[in-house]
Amino acid sequence: MRVLAALSGGVDSAVAAARAVDAGHEVVGVHMALSRTRDQFRTGSRGCCSIEDAGDARRAADALGIPYYVWDLSEQFEQTVVADFLAEYEAGRTPNPCVRCNEHIKFAALLDKAVALGFDAVCTGHYARIVVRDDGTRELHRARDAAKDQSYVLAVMGPERLARSMFPLGDVASKDETRAEAAARGLSVSAKPDSYDICFVADGDTQGFLRSRLGSRPGEVVDTSGEVVGEHDGAYAYTVGQRRGLALGRPAADGKPRYVLSIEPVANRVVVGSADELVVDTVTADQAVWYSRLDTGDCQVQVRAHGAPVDARATVHDDRVEVVLPTGLRGVAAGQSLVLYDGTRVLGQATVTSSRRALAAR
């Protein structure tokens, strides 16, 4: 097959490309330039897709003996991922930019362009497994290494794009194994630090980035009774479940910590309360993408990239899904990605629109 290997400049994508070469595919490497305005050089590896990373990707391609190109996808990235990030926070929701990047860039803009150029598949360094059933159906599963599993952020891609994807690292036992393989292959990125934080926020200051784009918007922080307990400089900078950085001028009556329960963008208010008030037992999500559609059934759900799955009972209505959580779940925010699993198999994905607090229902 003709395979386009997405080379981020990190160790994972380099080893994934190497494995695609070993499998006998005709491999071409491509680095996605996603921003024209980011810091050009950074210490370590806070994010990805910088000029520094482009150089590392080129050196990996040279070591593998494959052609290498840089594709400028910065305009699409700004109009989709960054614009969605800002709009969601401004609307009081909590987006996951990695999910949106996989949806709009890596498995839309990149994959669509690859297919148009005659490639059969796109290969990435994501940690997830593709299982092909006897009837040819391709299933998305969790990676062998649960600590590195990225099926949560990949679930949004859907079955059609999964059919043209390759994840050679899905069966790797650990990241140490990937690094050891990179070193054995002579890849200079073998010891490169992992990327983290939001890639387009080079200094890691998300609130500062939001403020620079959305401006200062002072408002009130209130408790569930409506009493003002503090002030903020922009409700958009808060997320449900947040505890730090609230700067409350009045402590809770019981002396316990308070958390963000909700953001009210129209009133420009942040509502805080106790940890118990964060627990929900029902979550509704829409814009569902299905690999194996449910009508009503038991499953497990996950609402954060590094969160633990919890048991749930799901009911599906067209592109909307409602899940009931017998043991409850803490701090679910509108805008988060809800992924449904059957064991290691991804059943589907949807975007959280609302949740109901367990305490409020009693």
Q: Determine which one of 49, 98, 101, 123 is catalytic.
A: 101
Spatial separation of the C-alpha atoms in residues 331 and 305, rounded to whole Å: 14
Q: Which of 48, 49, 123, 199 is catalytic?
A: 199
Count of C-beta atoms within a 10 Å radius of residue 225:
7
Q: What is the pLDDT of residue 231?
A: 94
pLDDT at 245: 87
Residue 221: closest CA among 195, 192, 252, 190: 252
The rounded average pLDDT for each run of 10 residues, N- to C-terminus, in the chain (362 residues) is 96 97 98 70 52 90 97 93 95 94 93 96 98 94 96 96 97 96 96 80 84 94 93 94 87 87 95 93 96 90 94 94 95 96 97 80 45
- Taking alpha carbons only, the member of 298, 358, 360 closest to residue 328 is 358
Task: Give the pLDDT of residue 45.
Answer: 46
Say whether 199 is catalytic. yes
Structure-block tokens of residue 71: 């594709």
Q: What is this structure's pTM?
A: 0.92
Residue 198: per-residue pLDDT: 82
Is 101 a residue of the active site? yes
Domains and CATH numbers, the chain: 2-191 (3.40.50.620), 216-274 (2.30.30.280), 277-361 (2.40.30.10)
